[in-house]
Each structure stands twice: as C-alpha cells, then as structure tokens.
C-alpha cells in the first residue's frame, strides 16, 4: 500500500558532501528527469525542526549528528493505484498528512515521547512503470537527525534503527505506515476503498486471461527472439483503461534464471472502459498479426479527441451491419 524505506549518511567528509548534494537534488528536482515545479524561497521544505532550506538543514544535521550518523533519510511513497482513488485536489494534502502522521506515529510506537525533529519535501513525480507510465505518483523525502533528545538522561543520544530478533524498527515503520495509510484511505476515499481496489484487481486479472485465446501476432525483441502477443486492455483506474498488448518478458532470478512474466504495454491510454474494450477488439482484427500495423493504428487513436473516437466507433459499427456490403476502413 505504501513504501517507506530508510537510509543514512555517515559523519565524514564524503558523507557530508553526499548529504548536501542529496538535499540540493531533493530541493530542485521532482525526479531524475524532471526539475522542480515550484522552488520559491522557503516554500519547498516543510519544517518540523530540521530547517526549511538546504543551508539550514545541512547545519542542523551537523549540529545534531551522532558518532556514526550524520543524517537519516526516509521515503514515504503511497501506491499510485490507491492515490488514483483520492480526489486530485486532495492528493497533495493526503501525502503531507500521511508523512506527518507516519513519522510521529512511528516514534510514538518506539516510546520517544519527545518526538524527533524532521523536515520533508513533497515530490510530484509521474510513474515510470512500463505497464502504466505517466500516472501521478506523489511522495515525500524526509530528513532526520543522527540523535534524539532523551528526557531521562537530559541530553541527546544516538538515534538508531534496530533490526534484530528483540526489536525490528524497520518492520515497525512498515506496520505504522500501512496502518496510517489505511486510516487515511478510509477518511479520504471512504470505508469501501478496499472493496473498490479489489474490484480493480479482479478486472485486471480478468483482462490478463486474454492469453488463453490464440495470439494476435508475433513480435521480435532486441535479441531477435520472437514472442506471441495479444492485443488487449488494462484497467488504469476507476475511470480509465489503456489499450495495448500483452506478452511474456524474461525476468530471471537467482532461483529461476528462465522465469517469464506476463506484462502489459500500453499503446493508447486514458480511454473510457467500454471504448477501450471496443478498440482493443477492433485492433486485434485489423492488425492482421502485424505489430507495426498495431502500433500505427494505436497512433491514430492517440491523435483523436473524444468526439472523433466516438464518431469512429459509430462508423465501424455501421460497417458491421449485415445490410452494408462494405469493408470497414479503420483509417476513415
């Protein structure tokens, strides 16, 4: 439901340099490929005690470092499938609230009543998932100090993340994150959010069953190997479906170097469900086994607006009537 991972930098010259470079990157980028959308003064970072700018955070990290840790960094990244269920105008607030509640809840669970200073930055990245690229994928990067104030001892002590049989803070972090995510989904989306997600997963599983039919064509990969392909659909979210193709892709592991995984590759996205299903069936026939032809036809779909696609569907259905002795021309 939500990824939360932890990394740290050592209090060395290299660690300090890496930390400063990371903070600059987080401030001025949304992702590896996209510059920050809004960088104006102190508006980028949300300050909960670690500062609101690169310079301030660098200084605080140095002031609050421990012998072995200069700074910890966390990432809180909700599932894009679940974020899609949140109203677009509420997604930023959802992720901000998720971040603050997760960090505070995690340290409460650890018994650190005084809390821990942190600052975070929100990134509006788009997904690079090959099956569903370009979807909203907001997430946060959180900066924590290397020490925490210990009320019992009246001084700061090293902050640590244990991962042993007695206590596993990483597992605890994941549990708090999942619980917080579920609570927010219920408040922002509704008590039926799990049922709605299960329905989405069920539709996707049904769409994958197209491979029980005869393949619609064959494609060659970069190494010259040939693969059966099926023209079909994949439900993107509750409003949209993509048209593309399924094929098996090599996904070797240490245990199974010959493992294959069935994956979808979209060619035309953002279509209403019924419309996507109609075009997938039409393209499966019109491609005539030729992958280049399939991509060409999908390109035509991408170049149409909603009204043009509706008109095309009416034209194709008109050609399918038995009283019309005319062969359909998809490029009409």
Residue 201 lies in a domain: no
> Do both 14 and 123 map to the same domain?
yes
> Do both 112 and 217 map to the same domain?
no
Q: What is the pLDDT of residue 321?
A: 56
- DSSP codes, 61-129: HHHT--SS-SEEEEEEEE-HHHHTTS-GGGHHHHHHHHHHHHHHHHHHHTT-TT---EEEEEEEEE---
For residue 310, what are the domain limits? Answer: 210-319
Give the end of a domain, one of 158, 191, 224. Answer: 191
> Do both 135 and 8 map to the same domain?
yes
> Do both 183 and 44 map to the same domain?
yes
Question: Are the C-beta atoms of 116 and 153 separated by less than 8 Å?
Answer: no
Cβ atoms < 10 Å from Cβ of 81: 18
> Do both 66 and 153 map to the same domain?
yes
> Do both 125 and 41 map to the same domain?
yes
Residue 167 lies in a domain: yes
N-term to C-term CA, the chain: 44
| Mean pLDDT for the chain overall | 90
> Do both 258 and 146 map to the same domain?
no
Residue 18 lies in a domain: yes
Q: What is the pLDDT of residues 104-119, one digit of tens each?
A: 999 999 888 778 999 9
Give the end of a domain, one of 156, 191, 226. Answer: 191
Question: Are the C-beta atoms of 61 and 172 separated by less than 8 Å?
Answer: no
Model confidence at 320, in pLDDT bands (50, 70, 90)? low
H or E segment at 196? helix 193-208
- Residue 153 to residue 156: CA distance in whole angstroms: 8
Residue whose C-alpha is closest to residue 46's, from 104, 96, 103: 96
> Do both 40 and 123 map to the same domain?
yes
Residue whose C-alpha is closest to residue 2's, from 145, 174, 163, 158: 174
- DSSP codes, 309-323: HHHHHHHHHHHTSTT
pTM, two decimal places: 0.86
Domain count, the chain: 2
> Do both 83 and 120 map to the same domain?
yes
Model confidence at 74, in pLDDT bands (50, 70, 90)? very high
> Do both 124 and 57 map to the same domain?
yes
Q: How far is CA 213 from the centre of its chain?
A: 31
Residue 224 Rama label (left phi>0; alpha psi -120 to 50; beta): left
- Could you say which DSSP state residue 225 is in? -
Residue 91 lies in a domain: yes
Q: What is the pLDDT of residue 332?
A: 45
Residue 204 lies in a domain: no
Q: What is the pLDDT of residue 327?
A: 57
> Do both 240 and 175 map to the same domain?
no
Q: What is the pLDDT of residues 150-192, one digit of tens each?
A: 888 788 999 988 877 788 999 999 999 999 999 999 999 999 9
- Residue 225 to residue 105: CA distance in whole angstroms: 51
Cβ atoms < 10 Å from Cβ of 122: 17
> Do both 119 and 184 map to the same domain?
yes
Residue 143 lies in a domain: yes
Lowest mean pLDDT among 106-110, 168-172, 198-202, 220-224: 220-224
Residue 198 lies in a domain: no
Give the end of a domain, one of 135, 160, 191. Answer: 191
> Which CATH number fits the domain that encloses residue 14?
3.30.930
pLDDT reading at 43 higher than 80 = no
Residue 253 lies in a domain: yes
């Amino acid at each position: 439901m939500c990824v939360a991972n932890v990394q740290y930098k050592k209090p060395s010259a290299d660690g300090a340099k890496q930390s400063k470079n990371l903070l600059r990157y987080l401030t001025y980028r949304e992702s590896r490929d996209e510059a920050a959308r809004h960088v104006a003064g102190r508006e980028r970072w949300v300050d909960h005690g670690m500062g609101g700018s690169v310079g301030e955070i660098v200084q605080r990290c140095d002031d609050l470092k421990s012998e072995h840790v200069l700074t910890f960094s966390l990432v809180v990244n909700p599932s894009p499938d679940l974020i899609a269920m949140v109203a677009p105008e509420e997604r930023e607030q959802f992720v901000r609230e998720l971040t603050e509640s997760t960090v505070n809840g995690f340290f409460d669970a650890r018994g650190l009543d005084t809390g821990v200073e942190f600052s975070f930055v929100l990134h509006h990245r788009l997904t690079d998932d090959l099956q569903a690229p370009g979807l909203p994928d907001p997430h946060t990067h959180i900066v924590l100090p290397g020490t925490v104030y210990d009320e019992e001892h009246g001084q700061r002590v090293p902050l640590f993340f244990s991962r042993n049989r007695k206590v596993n803070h990483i597992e605890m972090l994941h549990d708090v994150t999942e619980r917080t995510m579920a609570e927010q989904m219920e408040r922002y989306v509704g008590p039926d959010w799990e049922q709605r997600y299960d329905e989405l997963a069920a539709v996707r599983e049904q769409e994958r069953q197209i491979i029980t039919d005869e393949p619609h064509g064959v494609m060659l990969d970069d190494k010259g190997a040939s693969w059966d392909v099926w023209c079909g659909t994949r439900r993107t979210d509750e409003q949209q479906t993509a048209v593309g193709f399924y094929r098996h892709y090599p996904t070797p592991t240490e245990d199974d170097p010959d493992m294959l995984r069935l994956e979808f590759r979209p060619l035309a996205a953002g279509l209403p469900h019924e419309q996507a299903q109609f075009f997938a069936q039409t393209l499966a026939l019109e491609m005539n086994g030729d992958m280049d032809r399939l991509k060409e036809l999908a390109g035509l779909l991408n170049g149409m607006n909603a009204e043009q696609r509706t008109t095309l569907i009416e034209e194709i259905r008109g050609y399918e009537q038995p009283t019309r002795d005319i062969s359909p021309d998809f490029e009409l």
